[in-house]
Amino acid sequence: MIVEASVTGIFRTILIIVGTLALLRFIGRLMIAKRNLEEEKSALRSQKKQEKELEKLRKQFGKTDIINESSNSVKPKINPNKVEDVDFEEIP
């Protein structure tokens, strides 16, 4: 069986190859765009989280929490982030 190449067959094959490459390139660009959007959303979420923490710290700046340790039956929950040791000197 002898197969002969025709001009239309060659043109059709080249067209299929070019179309496939163009389609793969388009899909690749869509995937890159989607990845970039996800990274941007993630960055915005982390930035908002940092801004909320900063605002919370600004509201708490200068405030003092008094911890009552006199009652032995009920121990208050102490947040280790809020407790600060203070050094002092006795005045003679």
Please, what are the averages of pLDDT over each run of 10 residues along the chain (92 residues)?
A: 83 96 98 97 96 92 74 58 68 74
d(CA 33, CA 18): 23
Supply the pLDDT for residue 55: 93
pLDDT in tens, 25-38: 999 999 999 999 99
d(CA 32, CA 26): 10
pTM above 0.75, yes or no: no
Rounded to whole angstroms, what are the CA distances from 72 to 15, 80, 83? Answer: 85, 19, 19
